[in-house]
């Protein structure tokens, strides 16, 4: 492993959490008058606010987050970090270690850094200054909060034990982020015993967090289907295979599979066709000889794992495709690419940390649910190798924080920043003072 010295700095606004420390007990209480009760020095909030604006106004796509990377490294060095790890195959990843010098566990806190290829509406404040690129999945929020947490701990680590590893991960939206960090083995080398992350949750109020035990987010898979047949003039469709009609029938058939051909309770799945193409040069008066479809499949299980009837989801999909092909006498090719696995919250870690965290927070601030989402997240790559917990972070207040991620109108209320900072600091404090040697994982 290589250690390098690098550079930079950030900021944050009003906080809606009352924070008191009584001995070793941390108390979080959501309160409308909490702006006067800022538990951290003003310079810490300044770090978070400045970082958020910097990251949001200058977003970068996956694996090219060079400006973001430099900013974070410079800021960590200014905070007093001396152990910043360089990964030769992950040029924009930032992994920094804070050693309290006291015996205790090694925990990890992770955020993403990359943005998405979306044009941000000009009325947003802050607003992206990079044409066609914006942070509409909250990674700027996550990174700013994590950086602020690093500054807060470096400023005063007296409440912590062991080591805290800060993982600023690139490329969550594309391939080569979490999976590459896992593959390089750095987290194993550092001895991380538990890894934590939080993610913005539009529609959830600021000052509220949600978490569920077990599998919380689905695995993602991608498919491409190619239909081939006889073309014809559009005025004479019976002379050919009429592939656009076949494609329409196929979309209808595939969409019905989760509810009609699988055990909806034991094999929940979403199969969405998101692309249909007849080629770039097809004429409006010609029925094409080839049509391609593409889309995604979300599930909490391996698509090749057999269900109770002995058939896997792939088997069911192939049976449906072959049925359409036979009915219309066309050739259909199906390609499936498995991507992100399901995101799993570790049950033993959940049972150890969540009761302590709930006791440290106002009643109802941290809600344990049993909800699962068909969205996917590459934090999942860490979960087979490290005990992990993944939290949803409330971002809605007033008219802000209502619109979904990946949409141009996505935004968050600025009070999310101080709330997220205090939550992550508290979570890290509890974890670093817990006996994580009792937590086990089977790879």
- C-alpha distances out from residue 100 to 162, 235, 407, Å: 6, 77, 41
94/212 same-domain check: yes
- Predicted pLDDT at 37: 58
- Predicted pLDDT at 194: 99
Q: Give residue 299's domain range.
A: 219-338
- Look at residue 443 and tell me if it is in a domain: no
Percent of the chain at pLDDT above 90? 84
Distance CA 314, CA 306 (A): 9
- Among 338, 358, 374, the domain boundary falls at 338
Is residue 357's pLDDT more than 80? Answer: yes
Q: What is the 3-state secondary structure (H, E, C) of 386-428?
A: CCEEEEEEEEEECCECCCCCCCCCCCCCCCHHHHHHHHHHHHH
- Predicted pLDDT at 17: 34
Distance CA 349, CA 70 (A): 33
- Candidate from 42-46, 127-131, 142-146, 283-287 with smallest mean pLDDT: 283-287
Whether the link from the prior residue into 82 is cis, omega within 30° of 0, is no
Helix H segments across 89-177? 139-155
- Among 300, 320, 338, the domain boundary falls at 338
Cα-to-chain-centroid distance, residue 206: 19
For residue range 246-303, list pLDDT tens digits in order: 999 999 999 999 988 888 888 899 999 999 999 877 789 999 999 999 999 999 999 9
- Look at residue 367 and tell me if it is in a domain: yes
Residue with tokens 């979080």: 28
CATH number for position 402: 3.40.630.10
- C-alpha distances out from residue 386 to 112, 194, 415, Å: 18, 6, 31
63/166 same-domain check: yes
Distance CA 400, CA 202 (A): 9
145/67 same-domain check: yes
Report, as an integer, the average pLDDT of 303-321. 92
For residue range 250-264, list pLDDT tens digits in order: 999 999 999 888 888
105/225 same-domain check: no
- Number of separate domains in the chain: 2
CATH number for position 240: 3.30.70.360
- Candidate from 5-9, 70-74, 338-342, 374-378 with smallest mean pLDDT: 5-9
- Predicted pLDDT at 264: 82
202/182 same-domain check: yes
- Look at residue 390 and tell me if it is in a domain: yes
29/88 same-domain check: yes
Report, as an integer, the average pLDDT of 234-238. 96
121/237 same-domain check: no
- Look at residue 321 and tell me if it is in a domain: yes
137/247 same-domain check: no
Distance CA 65, CA 55 (A): 10
133/8 same-domain check: yes
Residue 278 φ then ψ, to 5°:
-110, 10
Q: Are strands 194-205 and 388-396 parallel, antiparallel or unpaired?
A: parallel
Report, as an integer, the average pLDDT of 88-110. 98
Whether 336 contacts 223, CB under 8 Å: yes
- Predicted pLDDT at 125: 97
- Confidence (pTM): 0.86
For residue range 159-177, list pLDDT tens digits in order: 999 999 999 999 999 988 9
351/326 same-domain check: no
- Predicted pLDDT at 282: 75
- Among 290, 318, 338, the domain boundary falls at 338
- Look at residue 277 and tell me if it is in a domain: yes
Cα-to-chain-centroid distance, residue 94: 17
- Look at residue 266 and tell me if it is in a domain: yes
Residue 412 φ then ψ, to 5°:
-135, 155
Residue with tokens 């602020």: 148
Is residue 25's pLDDT more than 90? Answer: no
288/346 same-domain check: no
76/206 same-domain check: yes
């Amino acid at each position: 492993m290589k250690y390098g010295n690098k550079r930079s700095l950030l900021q944050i606004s009003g906080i809606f959490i009352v924070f008191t420390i009584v001995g070793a007990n941390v108390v979080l209480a959501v309160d409308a008058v909490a702006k006067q009760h800022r538990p951290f020095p003003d310079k810490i909030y300044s770090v978070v606010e400045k970082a958020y604006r910097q990251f949001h106004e200058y977003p970068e796509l996956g694996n090219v987050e060079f400006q973001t990377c430099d900013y974070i490294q410079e800021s960590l060095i200014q905070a007093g970090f001396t152990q910043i790890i360089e990964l030769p195959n992950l040029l924009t990843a930032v992994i920094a270690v804070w050693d309290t010098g006291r015996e205790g566990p090694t925990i990890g806190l992770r955020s993403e850094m990359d943005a998405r290829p979306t044009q941000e509406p000009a009325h947003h404040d802050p607003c992206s200054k990079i044409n066609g690129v914006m942070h509409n999945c909250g990674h700027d929020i996550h990174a700013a909060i994590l950086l602020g947490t690093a500054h807060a701990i470096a400023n005063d680590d007296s409440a912590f034990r062991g080591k805290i590893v800060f993982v600023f991960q690139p490329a969550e939206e594309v391939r080569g982020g979490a999976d590459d960090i896992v593959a390089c083995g750095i987290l194993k080398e550092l001895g991380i015993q538990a890894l934590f992350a939080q993610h913005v949750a539009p529609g959830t109020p600021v000052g509220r967090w949600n978490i569920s035990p077990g599998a919380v987010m689905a695995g993602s898979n991608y498919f491409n289907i190619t239909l081939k047949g006889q073309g014809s003039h559009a005025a004479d469709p019976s002379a050919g295979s009429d592939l656009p009609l076949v494609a329409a029938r196929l979309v209808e058939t595939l969409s019905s599979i989760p509810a009609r051909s699988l055990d909806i309770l034991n094999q929940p799945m979403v199969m969405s066709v998101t692309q249909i193409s007849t080629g770039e040069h097809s004429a409006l008066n010609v029925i094409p000889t080839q049509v391609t479809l593409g889309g995604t499949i979300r599930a909490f299980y391996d698509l090749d794992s057999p269900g109770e009837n002995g058939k896997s989801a792939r088997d069911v999909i192939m049976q449906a495709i072959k049925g359409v092909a036979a009915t219309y006498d066309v050739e259909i090719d199906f390609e499936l690419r498995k991507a992100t696995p399901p995101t799993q919250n570790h049950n033993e870690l959940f049972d150890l940390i969540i009761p302590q965290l709930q006791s440290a927070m106002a009643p109802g601030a941290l809600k344990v649910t049993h909800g699962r989402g068909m969205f996917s997240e590459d934090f999942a790559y860490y979960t087979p190798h490290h005990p992990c917990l993944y939290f949803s972070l409330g971002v809605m207040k007033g008219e802000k924080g209502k619109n979904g991620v990946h949409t141009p109108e996505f935004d968050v209320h600025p009070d999310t920043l101080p709330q997220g900072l205090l939550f992550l600091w508290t979570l890290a404090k509890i974890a670093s003072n817990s006996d994580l040697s009792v937590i086990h994982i089977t790879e």
